[in-house]
Amino acid sequence: MPPFCLPPRPMCAHARPLPAAVTALLICTLIASTTAHAQDTSDVKPARISLLAGVTLGTVIPVHIYQQNAWWQGPRGPFRFENDWVYALNVDKLGHMYAGYVLSRTFCSMLRWSGFSEHASTFWGSALGLSYQMYVEVEDGFHRVYGFSPGDAFFNIIGATVPLAQWTFPVLRNFSLKYSYWPSTGYRNELRAGQAKAFLDDYQGTEVWLGMDPHFLMGDGLRRAVPSWLGVAFGVCARDLDESGGGRRVETLALDINLSRIETESEFLRAVFTLLDYIHFPMPGMRLDGKIVRFGVFYP
């Protein structure tokens, strides 16, 4: 959802095989997930479902109002597409993927709490997360500046279906998506000047991470020696973005903390650890910025 309209750009030639490959993987995931279990072991609790519906509506309506004021101001126009594949050096696309991932996992947890089976809650949680993301994209499609972004929609699908893929292929449960943010200088200057906008559009202050728990690759001895909560993560952010699609992409490889790997009998702590695992905390690592390699603690 860019804050300004970019001229249409052709998709990079090397990027074309990616959507086809990921789409094929998603189709395999859907087929495998729908045939893996013939029986549904759901034991739905009506009171909890009612509470879930109320919380969902009570959240979606205020968020819609916020988005209406932050992004969708002004007159609407005919539905149209806007190809912004290279906008913000794809960091915004990674943000869409992360948002879909968080939404789907949240719905999955809520449906499981409501009595749905693990399979049903994962399937419908992914569907609900994707539905909300696509609703936002359709609203963008009627905006005279934004337009419906096929690239945003594609990464929405990837992020929303990650929980389903992890349920179908257990090895993928060793990976997660994480996020870190610190307001960029440009964003702070805009706020001081009264040019308020959503911090989600501050892509120079955003870094999206792919976290990995490496213990599944270790032997028994090394697995016992390395703390269960210690992992690694690969992050991507952007710097020096301008309104012409320029800038540079920065990659970081760092240690990571997986709090949800800590064993506890407290349901409250498990819930807190799960929420905190959506965030990548400052940890030592190595950053590649162009041809310059830096070592330190980076955030974001």
The per-residue pLDDT for range 175-207, each reduced to its tens digit, is 999 999 999 988 898 888 887 677 888 999 999
Query: Bigger pLDDT: 151 or 1?
Result: 151
The residue count of the chain comes to 300
- What percent of the chain is predicted at pLDDT more than 70? 86
Q: Write the pLDDT tens digit of every residue in 84-140.
A: 888 899 999 999 999 999 999 999 999 999 999 998 999 999 999 999 999 999 999
- 188: helix, coil or strand? helix
* Triad 158, 48, 177: Cα angle to 5°: 25
> In what helix (H) or strand (E) does residue 110 lie, and over which residues does it extend?
helix 91-113
Q: What secondary structure letter does DSSP report for 216?
A: G
Show Cβ contacts of residue 16 under 8 Å, excluding neighbours closer than 6 positions: none
b/e sequence 4-21, b meaning 16+ C-beta within 10 Å: eebeeeeeeeeeeeebee
Q: Write the pLDDT tens digit of every residue in 7-51.
A: 333 333 333 444 555 555 555 555 555 544 444 667 889 999 999
d(CA 50, CA 80) in angstroms, rounded, equals 37
Which sign does the torsion angle of CA 220, 222, 226, 229 carry?
A: negative
Token pair, residue 272, equals: 């807190």
Please name which of 129, 113, 135, 115 lies closest in space to residue 164, comparing C-alpha atoms: 129
* β-bridge mates for residue 248, sequence order: 239
Q: What secondary structure letter does DSSP report for 86?
A: T
Q: Which of 49-53, 80-84, 117-121, 278-282 has the highest mean pLDDT?
A: 278-282
Token pair, residue 30, equals: 């859907």
CA distances from 206 to 150, 236, 237, 294 (A): 22, 9, 6, 19
Contact 252, 235 (CB under 8 A): yes
Per-residue confidence (pLDDT) for residue 28, from 0 to 100: 53
Token pair, residue 147, equals: 């337009």
